[in-house]
Chain A
């Protein structure tokens, strides 16, 4: 089974500071990887997804960027944080279930507060 690690678990950063959130995956190779953001009390917003090393698709234009330097590593970055970047950031992979379905596994998340 797949395991997703995210760190840090919580982060408080001032406006204008840089950001780096890391996600690593175990138990699978060549996974599709995703970054989601969830604002407090709201739904999930897909930010980026990657189907392979160096391949990043951006779903929402913003001051965030993503990189995939290794097969099972996905990084979310920003050069200058905005207040609106506060939220719960979730890394996810996708995989096929035994019933020919498709499941998305989520990491534990990073709670970012920009002050």
Chain B
């Protein structure tokens, strides 16, 4: 898992452009990954998930890519909108263990 004691990195993107948010995970045994979106003052909300037997999964305007070789996960948001501004967390787990969350990335959309 990632450290939870560091300040969040920020990604600034122009409205309409595509956003790519990256996450590195540490446990090679992790077999399930989730991306969460957290708006200010609210709890995290599920966006999309992917199992380790896949390397790509698409949702509505979002795509998650998994590279197990380098233990890297990314979230791509197409045509970024102001409503996409939030903090994005990746999370991993294996078996029935609790999810381990990454440090998060703050996405700021410039109108």
Contacts and interface: CB of A to CB of B under 8 A. Distances in A.
Interface in B1-54: 2-8, 32, 34, 41-46, 49, 51
A101 B49 contact: yes
A92 B89 CA distance: 15
Given A90-B44, A108-B42, A41 B99 contact: no
Interface stretch (A44-52, A65-73, A74-82): A44-52
Nearest to A103: B46
Contacts of A106: 43-45
Interface magnitude class on chain A: 20 to 34
Contact of B4 (A43, A90, A94): A43
Tell me the dominant secondary structure on chain A's binding face. Answer: strand
B8 A109 contact: no
Given A42-B5, A103-B34, A97 B49 contact: yes
Contacts of B45: 106
A85 to B, nearest CB: 15
A87 B6 CA distance: 15
Interface magnitude class on chain B: 20 to 34
A104 B32 contact: no
Given A49-B98, A111-B41, A44 B7 contact: no
A31 interface: no
A107 B104 contact: no
A111 B41 CA distance: 8
**Most chain A beta-carbon contacts within 10 A, residue among B34, B43, B44:** B43
Contacts of A108: 42-43
27 contacts: A36-B101, A42-B4, A42-B5, A42-B7, A42-B8, A43-B4, A43-B89, A43-B101, A44-B101, A46-B100, A46-B101, A90-B43, A90-B44, A94-B98, A100-B51, A102-B99, A103-B49, A104-B34, A104-B46, A104-B99, A105-B46, A106-B45, A107-B43, A108-B42, A108-B43, A109-B41, A111-B41
Interface of B: 2-8, 32, 34, 41-46, 49, 51, 89, 91, 93, 96, 98-104
